[in-house]
Amino acid sequence: MSNFKQFKKMFAAQLKLTLREKQAWFWGIFFPVILMVIFMVIFSGSSDDEFQSEIAIVAENSNPTSEMLLTQITQLSILDVKTGEPVSRETAEQWVKDQEVDAAIVLPESADDTSFVLVVNKEDERGVTTQALSAILDKMVQQANLSAVGAAPTFDIQFESLTSGSNELNYTDFLLTGMIALSIAQGGMFGMVDMVEMRRKGLIKRLRMTPAKMGIFGLSDMVMRLLFSVIQILLLSLIGVFIFGANLFINFPSLIIIFLIGALSFNALGYLFSSFSSTQNAYMGVANIVSFVMMFLSGVFFPVETMPEWIQPISNLLPLTYFAEGLRDSMVYETGLFSSTLWFGIGVLVIWGALSFILGALLYKRKSIVAAR
């Protein structure tokens, strides 16, 4: 039988085994789709909208100072005054307790009063909205102080934002590429579970005794899993673009390289797991633990830079971190092949894949020698 015919038969056999393995399909495709839909429904568009906060204003005794501050507050488009006019302090505090408003601002009761009060809910005291409101009011106080002494501001801040790409990006794009990386990684790590069963039943040993070439067997398995990964990336991309409005600006040469290296590296991890797992349950347990850790520490849902500083070194060691960043570079930022950052991530993935494959091969060889004795 020619090598090509062997490849076709082995590829068909590998495909049937994968189709029968429902856990691999669930963890490789349906689980990432479910996760992506949940996160995109929750966060879709949250990073694109301007900051907006609903507040209550208390101005029980009208005076020139309170009227001046009220005018400044109502002119801020990011602050929405509930009912559009001041209310009593009792009403405002009740709204804060019931979380109907983010905060209440109590204006000075007299022209000589030099302070006003920001009332917030205790549960939200350290929240982002509270911190933003505090910063806004602090800025207003500074400006009022300068005006009171007749001084003009000397320094100013000009805000600019930069991106490595030339297109407007949002959290949906970030999450989509992270979920694609996660799904491909899980497909590789969970996809080798059938190897455990084949070894346990002695099928691999029998296959070695036939004229079939083990190299072609491995090649057919690799091609089948790459095809599986192509299905994952196409399905998630279509859902992200057409349902959630994600933007993809793909550099195809970069994408092909990072995709192939990443998929092969995580297949090697799955191969390593199968080399020391005696049962399918043991294999799935190890794969689940590793997948769970990388899912939340590799920048799939949120940037690594936003994590606590003591966690970031751990994240920077994980292969999924570099795979997710590589996919974002090639699918969102249009990063070309000459990017040093892209190749550094590829290098890390190659190291992980090579070490996993070599260690897995040594463990398989050792077990074969022990079995022969």
Residue 81's φ and ψ, nearest 5 degrees, are: -80, 120
Q: Which of 14-23, 29-38, 127-136 has the lowest mean pLDDT?
A: 14-23
Q: Which of 6-15, 41-50, 83-92, 331-340 has the lowest mean pLDDT?
A: 41-50
What is the tens place of the pLDDT at every residue in 258-302? 999 999 899 889 888 988 888 888 888 898 899 989 988 998 888
Tokens of 348: 């890390």
What is the tens place of the pLDDT at every residue in 231-243? 888 888 998 888 8
Residue 84's φ and ψ, nearest 5 degrees, are: 80, 5
Angle at 47 between CA 41 and CA 48, to 5 degrees: 100
Q: Is the pLDDT reported for residue 47 higher than 70?
A: no
Q: Which residue has the higher pLDDT, 229 or 315?
A: 315
Give the global pTM.
0.68
Q: How far is CA 127 from the centre of its chain?
A: 22
Amino acid found at 224:
M
Q: Is the pLDDT reported for residue 325 higher than 90?
A: yes
Dihedral sign for Cα 126, 130, 134, 136, please.
positive
Q: Is the pLDDT reported for residue 2 higher than 50?
A: yes
What is the tens place of the pLDDT at every residue in 20-44? 766 666 666 677 778 778 877 776 5
pLDDT of residue 161: 46
Between CA 136 and CA 61 the distance in angstroms is 23
53-148 to CATH, choices 2.40.50, 2.60.460, 1.10.10, 3.40.190: 3.40.190
The confidence band for 361, taking pLDDT boundaries of 50, 70 and 90, is: confident
Domain boundaries, the chain: 3-45+170-372, 53-148
Between CA 68 and CA 41 the distance in angstroms is 41
Region 304-315 average pLDDT = 86
pLDDT of residue 151: 66
pLDDT of residue 373: 47
Q: Which residue has the higher pLDDT, 204 or 133?
A: 133
